[in-house]
Structure 1
């Protein structure tokens, strides 16, 4: 049994196709098929059910893939040990960022990080929290920046900052004249929300559930972007809640519609998250150091109440 054979098994399990897996592994399809067949012969089991289209894992194959992923990840640790011993911070690093953090945080730290660590080749993707968790577990992301806590035993979290929620309330709304907002003032039924799949949406719903101002009816107005929520709100279609960093770039006219909460301000916890195997920790720590240093000057709030991003049933 070899690490290469296990790597090929993981590739086929992911792509459900021998040809596509071979392309991803940069080998010929006969070479990949032969190595997997050798492994199956040695173990005297069928890992894949080749009669199915697309190819499926057998029951024992599912267990083998779980263990293979652990073994392959551990094999990568050897290079990690060498890199850390040499003090080397470089190589490819795949980072996921949730949509409500990407447009505000990335411009703040990316240039500084590249300048400080030029040998790191960052590959950054905008992904939902659900996609991030799946890709971290599958080994397709080295780390991610997401709202936490996620309460997942296979994922570790390092808090970067706490970002308060800010109310965006247009003129004519029942709360526009209020200088400060209480959580109990919120009514989910006149609030504009992000589309399903955004953890910030779940945080807003959880916040409203604290005072049970929540209806099980479908919300009439939802959007995929915070910028669209602001525009809809400006049209008098309801209020919305914004992450604090998003409020720094809106124009002066729109800033008149910002209303802060009485303390403790509801807030989300934003963390860098990674697999419990702790691979490429030197790059993760470098990211944490750069981001934490920059964010301290942008968010001065201290007295906050963290709202969970986990959907409540």
Structure 2
């Protein structure tokens, strides 16, 4: 059993395809297949079920893949220990971030990270929460910035900030001049939502469960639209197609001629944004440095957490 074989089975489990796994490992498919077959023979069990267009992992294979990832993490930790002896922050940090945080945090975060820790470049991946959790589990990412709640996967978690929600309405809308808006008042409006898969959509539905009813009559939301990004939905709101709810960091610093952002009245709905990483990840200084770079950002309108 070798680290190379373990790396191969982790890649196949991630890609669910031998060809793509071979490409990811920079080897030929026959080389990868032979190595995995050799490992299965050594262990006297099947790690993968081969059939159809997709490879599936057997129940015992799932346990073996998890252990293989742990072994690879520990092997990588040996190199990291050696690096830390020279520079604890040396080397890239692979950071994931969800779609509804990335556009509003990353530009300033990358700037501060380069200024403060030039020896630790950020390798960025923007994706859905469920995909980021999978990439953390398989070791494709070192850490991720996400919003709670998410499934308990045994990750280490550090809170970053609590972010209030804000209502975005067309400038000519009756609510545009209000000092605040209650969640109850939104029931009578046409609501524009992010599509399924975005955790912020779920956060909005928790605040106003009526949005999920897609009611066609006068009760609740009359009609619902789904967008692929907050910025797309904002443009739809500006054109008068409805209203939406956005996180505070997405509110632009410069006033818009077509949009108004109105705060919620008490109780103000919020989401908690956190930094998560595998407990086996040993670059503690890198995690602390990333948090410092995040706290160097303006973070207007949010409550910082220690």
Q: TM-score range by the shorter chain?
A: 0.7 to 0.9
Deviations 1:241-264 (CA, angstroms, capped at 9, x unpaired): 121122134534346x22112344
Counterpart CA distance in 1 for 2:262 and 2:176 is 8
Among residues 228, 244, 252, which one is paired with 1:224 in the alignment?
228
Counterpart CA distance in 2 for 1:58 and 1:301 is 45
C-alpha spacing 1:109/1:58, structure 2 compared with 1 (3 Å): closer
Contact 2:88/2:286 (8 A) holds in 1: no
Contact 2:162/2:302 (8 A) holds in 1: no
What SS does the corresponding residue of 2:158 show, helix, strand or coil?
strand
C-alpha spacing 1:28/1:221, structure 2 compared with 1 (3 Å): closer
Q: Which residue of 2 aligns with 1:272?
A: 275
Contact 2:191/2:224 (8 A) holds in 1: no
Structure 2, unaligned runs of 5 or more: 216-222
What SS does the corresponding residue of 1:176 show, helix, strand or coil?
helix
Structure 1, unaligned runs of 5 or more: 305-313
Contact 2:73/2:281 (8 A) holds in 1: no
Counterpart CA distance in 1 for 2:262 and 2:65 is 51
Counterpart CA distance in 2 for 1:188 and 1:98 is 30
Q: How does the TM-score come out when normalised to structure 2?
A: 0.85
Written as runs of structure 1 = structure 2, the 5 A alignment for 1:180-199 is 180-187=180-187, 190-199=190-199
Q: Which residue of 2 aligns with 1:112?
A: 112
Contact 2:156/2:276 (8 A) holds in 1: yes
Among residues 243, 250, 273, which one is paired with 1:246 in the alignment?
250
Compute the RMSD of aligned alpha carbons.
2.7
Q: Which residue of 1 aligns with 2:122?
A: 122
Deviations 1:51-88 (CA, angstroms, capped at 9, x unpaired): 65544434433332222222222222222333344442
* TM-superposed deviation, 1:31: 4.1
C-alpha spacing 1:215/1:264, structure 2 compared with 1 (3 Å): closer
* TM-superposed deviation, 1:2: 2.4
Contact 1:84/1:282 (8 A) holds in 2: no
Q: Which residue of 2 aligns with 1:309?
A: none
Deviations 1:121-169 (CA, angstroms, capped at 9, x unpaired): 3221221112111111121111111112324132222122222111122
Deviations 1:163-218 (CA, angstroms, capped at 9, x unpaired): 21111222554433422222332227522212222111111111113xxx445237
When structure 1 is superposed on structure 2, of 284-293 and 74-83 the one drifting more is 74-83
Counterpart CA distance in 2 for 1:15 and 1:55 is 9
What SS does the corresponding residue of 1:158 show, helix, strand or coil?
strand
C-alpha spacing 1:241/1:120, structure 2 compared with 1 (3 Å): same
When structure 1 is superposed on structure 2, of 37-46 and 105-114 the one drifting more is 37-46
Q: How does the TM-score come out when normalised to structure 1?
A: 0.83
* TM-superposed deviation, 1:301: 5.2
What SS does the corresponding residue of 2:291 show, helix, strand or coil?
helix
What SS does the corresponding residue of 2:224 show, helix, strand or coil?
coil
